[in-house]
Amino acid sequence: MRALKWALALILLATIGHAADTPVLPNYAEVRPGVTLSFPRDHGAHPEFRTEWWYITGWLDTEDGRSVGFQVTFFRTRTSTDQRNDSAFAPKQILFAHAALSDPQTGHLLHDQRIAREGFGLAQASMADMDVTLNDWTLKRDANGRMTTHAGGKDFALDLGFTPTQPVMLEGEEGYSRKGPLPAQASHYYSLPHLLVSGTVTRNGRKAAVKGTAWLDREWSSAYLAPGAVGWDWAGFNFDDGGALMAFRIRDAQGQALWAGGSYRDAKGALTHLAPGDVAFAPVRRWHSPRTGTDYPVEQNLSVRLGPATKEWRIAPLFDDQELDSRAGGGPVYWEGAARVHGGRGYLELTGYFKPLKM
């Protein structure tokens, strides 16, 4: 694992490199407005874009009445390797994945990760539908729309099934979600909130049946962060009444919002697209990580302007220490935690607090 640290550091370093004689660099597709997302195709991978992920977060209720949070994410990144490289091993696409379990009784995150270059059927992401394989981890969608995932390792394993109960929620303008002032600083983005979860969590060899609610985020982009942006705060909540809220802000080095946005869908299904000025995150309490020395605003006041009114939610974490340190695999350090608001449960994600994030 420690060895992977260097490896992953390198691929991400490699996104900007050249061969001795002028290499042929890839042409990254640009995110443009006006592109209609169609399914099931857009559940699958978009290899022409630089970055992509399948991001599932959610709450699980165990049989003995306790609640835990979980995260399963599959990433795809297109490297800047020389496109003339004919080798079947050419690392033109790299797949990597994180899985995490937030149990307040444990007091910190349990997490595991995988990484491989796409090829030979050992690691691949289908372009036709949601079907991602990374060694022994999988995320697959069947013809009925039900998704299953297997992820985990020595400490824990997740075998979960997700059944959508609501239609796809397109973020931004019909799936064109801006992340910065320039039009190209955007991603194609859709969510599937209120997924019904059932499955098992295996810990210490014992399987426990779980049920819960989850949220799937799907994004792909080639230019995510504007220059000057160091990270973001993201929140996604499933409300008990059936509503769903996604809000984010892109921060600069001073901690000010460079950009913001989100979507709110009420219980009846009316979707409100939030402009940058409609969303504000105000940290209430910070938690200091003893391991990395980072201060995360784990409790925040989220105010969202919906039409004439402004609603406020106080986001409170399930517990404080939900920091995910993926440096062993060459990834970043970020905070990804199960959180509650009044009337809903979901996840809060805080990136770029340890060191500035570059994508």
Partner 1 sequence: MAADMCGLSGVATRWMIAGEWRAHPARVILAALAIAVGVALGFAVHLINASALNEFSRAVRTVNGDADFQVHARTPLGFEEALYPKLARTPGIAAASPVVELPASIDGKVPLTLLGIDPFRAGLVTPNLMGRPVAAETTQTAAPPSATDNALGETSIFLSQAALLALNKKPGDEIQVSAAGQTLAFTIAGTLPGVAEGQRLAVVDIATAQWRLNRLGRLQRVDLKFVEGADEPRVRNALAALLPRDAEIVNETTQERRTDALSRAYRVNLDMVALMALLTGGFLAFSAQALSVARRRSQFALLRVLGVQRRALLFQVLVEGAVVGGIGAALGLGAGLFLAQGALSFLGGDLGGGYFSGTRPQLIFAPGAALSFFGLGLLAALIGSVLPARQAAQAQPAIALKDAGDAADPRRAPGWRIALALLLAGAVCAFLPAIGGLPLFGYISVAFLLAGGVGAMPLLARVLLTPLQHVTFGVSGHLASKHLWGAPSQAAIALCGIVASTSLMIAMAVMVWSFRNSVDSWLVQILPADIYLRVEGDDYNAFAPDVQQRMATVPGLQSIHFRKVTPLRLSPDQPPITLLAEDIDPANPSALLPLIGSSRPIPDGAIPVWLSEPATWLYPYRAGDYMDLPLSGASGSTRVFVAGIWRDYGRQQGTVAMASPDYVRLTGDRLRSDAAISLKPGADSASLPDAMRAVMPPSLAGRVSFVPSRDLRKLSLQIFDRSFAVTYLLEAIAILVGLAGVAATFSAQTLARTKEFGMLRHIGVLKRQIVGMLAAEGALLGSVGVVAGIGLGIAISQVLIHVINPQSFHWTMETRLPFVLFATVAVALVAASAGTALIAGRRALSGDAIRAVREDW
Interface contacts to partner 1, rule CB under 8 A: 1-4, 6-7, 9-20, 23, 79, 81-82, 84-91, 115-117, 120-122, 331-333, 352, 354-359
CB of 15 to partner 1, least distance (A): 7
The residue count for the chain:
359
Amino acid identity of residue 265, one-letter, is R
When the beta carbons of 1 and 309 are compared against partner 1, the nearer one is 1
CB of 4 to partner 1, least distance (A): 5
Comparing C-alpha atoms, which of 61, 53, 43 is closest to residue 214? 61
d(CA 236, CA 259): 17
d(CA 87, CA 208): 44
d(CA 112, CA 98): 6
Q: List the structure tokens of 250.
A: 């892109």
Residue 314 host element (H or E): strand 309-317
d(CA 143, CA 160): 17
CB of 332 to partner 1, least distance (A): 4
Task: Please give the DSSP secondary-structure letter assigned to residue 119.
Answer: B
CB of 151 to partner 1, least distance (A): 17
Write the burial class of residue 38 (CB in 10 Å: 0-12 exposed, 13-18 middle, 19+ buried): exposed
CB of 215 to partner 1, least distance (A): 25
CB of 99 to partner 1, least distance (A): 17
When the beta carbons of 122 and 127 are compared against partner 1, the nearer one is 122
When the beta carbons of 85 and 148 are compared against partner 1, the nearer one is 85
When the beta carbons of 167 and 227 are compared against partner 1, the nearer one is 227
When the beta carbons of 84 and 268 are compared against partner 1, the nearer one is 84
When the beta carbons of 115 and 192 are compared against partner 1, the nearer one is 115
CA angle 19, 23, 24 (to 5 degrees): 150
d(CA 102, CA 196): 18
CB of 242 to partner 1, least distance (A): 37
When the beta carbons of 134 and 341 are compared against partner 1, the nearer one is 134
When the beta carbons of 8 and 279 are compared against partner 1, the nearer one is 8
Residue 239 host element (H or E): strand 229-239
d(CA 8, CA 236): 28
Task: Please give the DSSP secondary-structure letter assigned to residue 10.
Answer: H
CA angle 5, 319, 68 (to 5 degrees): 85
- Widest CA span of the chain, in angstroms? 63
CB of 154 to partner 1, least distance (A): 10
